[in-house]
Amino acid sequence: MEDLEFIKERVTFYLQHETDQHFLDLARDLQTNADGSLLRDLFGSSIKFGTGGLRGVMQPGFNSINPLTIHLATQGLGLYARSLYKRPLTAIISYDTRLYSKEFAIITAKTLATMGIHVKIFMDPTPVPILSFSIRQEEADFGVMITASHNPKEYNGYKVYWGSGEQVTAPHDAGIEQSIAQVEPSDVITEKEAQSRDLWTWLDETLFLQYHDAIFNLELIKFLYPTAKSSISSTICYSPLHGSGHRPVVHMLESAGFTVFVPSEQSEPDGNFPTVKTPNPEDSENLEIAIDLAHKQGASLVLATDPDADRLGVAVKHDDQFIILTGNQIGALMLYFIAEMRKKAGLPYDRSLFVNTVVTSPLQNKIAQFYHISDTRVLTGFKFIAEVIATCEKEKNREYIFGCEESYGFLIHTLSRDKDAVSAALLIAFMHEHYAKENTSLITILEHLHASYGYHLDRQINYTLSGSVGTQAIEAMMDHLAREQPKWGDSPIRRVYDYRQQKIFDHTGQAIPLEEPLPHTNLLQFQLEDGTLISARPSGTEPKIKFYTSITALNEEEAEIKMGNLKTQIHLFVAPYL
């Protein structure tokens, strides 16, 4: 527990160096009115460089996202990059539509330019996949995306991408964090000064148009794209949920010949996200406005993306009702379609590779195995899928064809190295059109997959525990699960995969090493005798503990009963810690 006098000194230091009036006013109010516990939470420690970067609530303090912590993080990033490369450096900066995103992007650009690093910054909010593509296309040394993805409006974040276009991973993440700890606030040059030194370039839509052309030049898309756009008959409703996806997604779909309607209530960039609780396409209620418009316009497909357009939500009309698909279902349908189309196009299978995560539905791996497509499972986080792509390119022994994770992230190409809802939306539209022409639907295909591989039901059960007390409770739960496994239902535990120790424990407690070791991470996975999977891990970006559940059954009714029992058991375990 930090001494209160030290905390007060930290508050004073923050007030001396924060440059934004809004955050200064908030900090002064906290200095006068907040209790010691809140001041300790906000100022007693520094925000951690976690999954790809920083993410937190926008508020004063060193443990939050604000202009000062963005400045310090950027100094650390620039210092680390300069230590690696003894040459002139270039960085590309983008941002979503959140409150303060552009302001934070400009602070990032000014800080890097002050360090002599040439910055290229987008004029308008630009999605994650286009930033990743642009880093590779421009051969930049690294990039920064100001975003908190699908989090509530109070949040923002700072994602760092390396020259390969993928999020930073070990050892660079630790190196950046160490550099951040060494820096002090400093003055920065103005945009005008940076431009006069040839250290500042504004980016227009040119890179997006290059991305657009590259996507339409993919073998799979060329096979699907009809010679005459007039043959496309599908009407689509798409919502950007007030985010950066509006122009790129609509442009892609209309280029292919689709008729697209966008709800006016959700079309404009707005960091307050006024029509949703959180701008997350995973949440079914966030698709309701687009579904209402779809009914009015006669559209049979609804798509939605989050503020940085890396996650995609999908709803499909079936028997006059819209059915909202889960991330696992979307991934399974995309993999099945890609496999079928590659087969039709005569594209090779022998070197094909599919990648998903250890908490994603096993239905996808069953589909891959049926088509003799190699499959690899990685830890949660798309950066690990990107690492596999890099390995494929280096070793030239396998061809990446698709990767996904259960949290609505998909990548159908290697042009970008992070999840890409823009190109995924295009592929889903082509899939919908293809099956409509065959007088079937994505829902019918999903039913076919369940009939072929067993009925799969996957749910995520999350518990939010905020503050330092919450962090301790989450750690205690993970320790409890590792030490003493609870009863998860009627079926006994067959195996426990402990990714903290890189070991597998059988029902007797006997330990063996993991067949394919993955990086150490705070993840425990329980495999029951009936095939049920339960995975538990702390969130890397939010104050949550997450339980990923996957059930295989004969039919939907049996699966729902088993899932209900499992949810009860999980809650009984968590309740004492709440």
Provide the token pair at 231: 């043959």
Beta bridge partners of 121: 93, 202
Tokens 């006098």 belong to 5
**Cα-only R_g, the chain:** 24
Give which of 292, 271, 290 is closest to 281, Cα–Cα. 290
Q: How many Å apart are CA 110 and CA 445, to the nearest integer?
A: 51
Among 149, 407, 423, 535, the one annotated catalytic: 149
Q: How many Å apart are CA 412 and CA 312, to the nearest integer?
A: 13
Strands 374-378 and 409-411: unpaired
Question: Distances from the Cα of 300 to the Cαs of 236, 387, 422, 524, in angstroms?
Answer: 6, 36, 19, 40
Identify whether 83 is a catalytic site residue.
Answer: no
DSSP class of 556: H
Q: How many Å apart are CA 78 and CA 542, to the nearest integer?
A: 26
Beta bridge partners of 534: 526, 549
- Asked if 549 and 566 touch (Cβ cutoff 8 Å), the reply is yes
- Asked if 532 and 488 touch (Cβ cutoff 8 Å), the reply is yes
Question: Distances from the Cα of 62 to the Cαs of 65, 69, 149, in angstroms?
Answer: 8, 6, 21
Q: Kindly tell me the burial class for residue 575, based on how many C-beta atoms sit within 10 Å of its own C-beta (0-12, 13-18, 19 or more).
A: exposed
Residues identified as active-site: 149
